[in-house]
Amino acid sequence: MAKKEKYNVAVVGALGIVGREMKSTLERKNFPVNEFRPLGTKRYEGKEVIFNGKPCKAFQADRDTFKGIDIAIFSAGGAASKELAPIAAEEGAVVIDNSSQWRMDPKCPLVVPEVNPQDLDWHNGIIANPNCSTIQMLVALKPLHDYAGIKRIVVSTYQSVSGSGKVAFNGLKNESEEFLSTGKVSNTAAYEQQIAFNCLAHIDVFQEGGYTKEEYKMVNETRKILDKTIKTTATCVRVPVFYGHCESVNIETKNKITREKAIELLEKAPSITVMDDPENNVYPSPIMTNNLDNTLVGRIREDDTIENGLNLWIVSNNIKKGAALNSVEIAETLLQRNLV
């Protein structure tokens, strides 16, 4: 395709937590935007979003609103993506979809730019953005896999409420305030149990075998993005944190990686900051990711219960690298590879 100087970009779900972050990421990265078009549900009609200082009218997303759009970034849930992503693609936009709707579709690339940018080359109009937990794990595991060959992953997550959207975000706030002043929570609207000062081992719906859909996402997306031979078992847990996901990751590799080698590989890898200095109590935590693009890795330890084992603690901003930032980086990579 012929390269343009500037692109018309739509964000579907532009008023949500992730949608707002997408807008500000496009701004701060100076993405070459000609027209910015905020789209969403019926309630978007008549609203305005300021992009690079200029007011942009919002519309209810339908076929007409995708006309003339080059890149459409979706973050409006699976149902909206299912219905509207093919329409946007038919109208000539390249879709970058943040929902789980198209991720395992063999016709749609599933991309973390640091891991598998080459998969963008075979896109058919819809590119899927992986699950937040998968993205940060694979950014950190890619250099280790290239060096030593990962065979098996055992991962337990500590996921913040912002991944569930605004209702959950406000739910944690309101529940916490009530619990601190009265010792109980009367309204647990955000989740089926209280999330304030609690941990919920349940993210997305339960599936066969007792695993959740979130857990299967980590298993299957890892295969599609990094290596189809890797076996992953996951336990995904919601914790009372506003922003930032943590992962306790145990890997078994074909070849030995020492703690020192892992640190060396991770320090050289893109989009990673190693924070691992036990002598000075330095390790990453979710509160550190508030204004951070990079994924933080610490608590790197050789695991001698198997021949070649390693433990890691991987922390990232689920709204940025886990969603909006990765989507915009996909868009940037599309431009670099001349794919829009």
Our answer to whether residue 132 is catalytic in this structure is: yes
CA distance 83 to 89: 11
Helices vs strands, H then E, count in the chain? 7, 14
Residues for the chain: how many in total? 340
Contact between 175 and a copy of itself (CB under 8 A)? no
Among 35, 227, 240, 332, binds a copy of itself (CB under 8 A): 240
Question: Of 3-11, 124-132, 245-253, 265-273, which part binds a copy of itself (CB under 8 A)?
Answer: 245-253
Q: Which residues contact 157 (CB under 8 A, 6 or more apart)?
A: 133, 203, 218, 234, 235, 236, 237, 245, 246, 247, 248
Backbone φ and ψ for 68, nearest 5 degrees, come out as 85, -5
Using CB atoms within 10 Å of the CB of residue 62, give its burial: 0 to 12 exposed, 13 to 18 middle, 19+ buried: exposed
Binding-site size, a copy of itself (CB under 8 A) = 56
Give the nearest distance from C-beta 302 to a copy of itself in angstroms: 6
- Strand, helix or coil for residue 27: helix
112 or 196: CB nearest a copy of itself: 196
Task: Let me know: does 165 contact 245? Beta carbons within 8 Å.
Answer: no
13 or 309: CB nearest a copy of itself: 309
Catalytic residue among 108, 123, 236, 245: 245
Contact between 306 and a copy of itself (CB under 8 A)? yes
Our answer to whether residue 236 is catalytic in this structure is: no
Q: Which residues contact 171 (CB under 8 A, 6 or more apart)?
A: 161, 188, 189, 190, 191, 195
Give the nearest distance from C-beta 312 to a copy of itself in angstroms: 9
Strand 7-12 relative to strand 54-57: parallel, antiparallel, unpaired? unpaired
Task: Let me know: does 114 contact 271? Beta carbons within 8 Å.
Answer: yes
Among 24, 41, 235, 273, binds a copy of itself (CB under 8 A): 235
Contact between 48 and a copy of itself (CB under 8 A)? no
Contact between 47 and a copy of itself (CB under 8 A)? no
Contact between 233 and a copy of itself (CB under 8 A)? yes
Contact between 18 and a copy of itself (CB under 8 A)? no
Among 91, 227, 303, 332, binds a copy of itself (CB under 8 A): 303
Output the six-digit token pair for 312. 């890691």
Contact between 91 and a copy of itself (CB under 8 A)? no
Among 67, 82, 107, 231, binds a copy of itself (CB under 8 A): 231
Measured from the Cβ of residue 2, the count of other Cβ atoms closer than 10 Å reads 5
147 or 283: CB nearest a copy of itself: 283
CA distance 74 to 79: 11
Strand 150-158 relative to strand 126-128: parallel, antiparallel, unpaired? unpaired
Contact between 227 and a copy of itself (CB under 8 A)? no
* Residues of this chain, 266-295, that bind a copy of itself according to CB under 8 A: 276, 278-279, 281, 283-287
Q: Which residues contact 278 (CB under 8 A, 6 or more apart)?
A: none
CA distance 16 to 13: 6
Contact between 79 and a copy of itself (CB under 8 A)? no
- Strand, helix or coil for residue 159: strand
Site string for a copy of itself, 182-201 (x = CB under 8 A): ----------xxx--xxxxx
- Strand, helix or coil for residue 195: coil
Among 24, 60, 248, 273, binds a copy of itself (CB under 8 A): 248
Element (H, E) at 171: helix 166-182
Give the nearest distance from C-beta 16 to a copy of itself in angstroms: 21
Catalytic residue among 132, 145, 236, 246: 132
Task: List residues binding a copy of itself (CB under 8 A).
Answer: 152, 154, 156, 158, 172-173, 176-177, 180, 192-194, 197-202, 206, 209-211, 231-233, 235, 237, 239-242, 246, 248, 250, 259, 276, 278-279, 281, 283-287, 298-306, 309, 311, 313
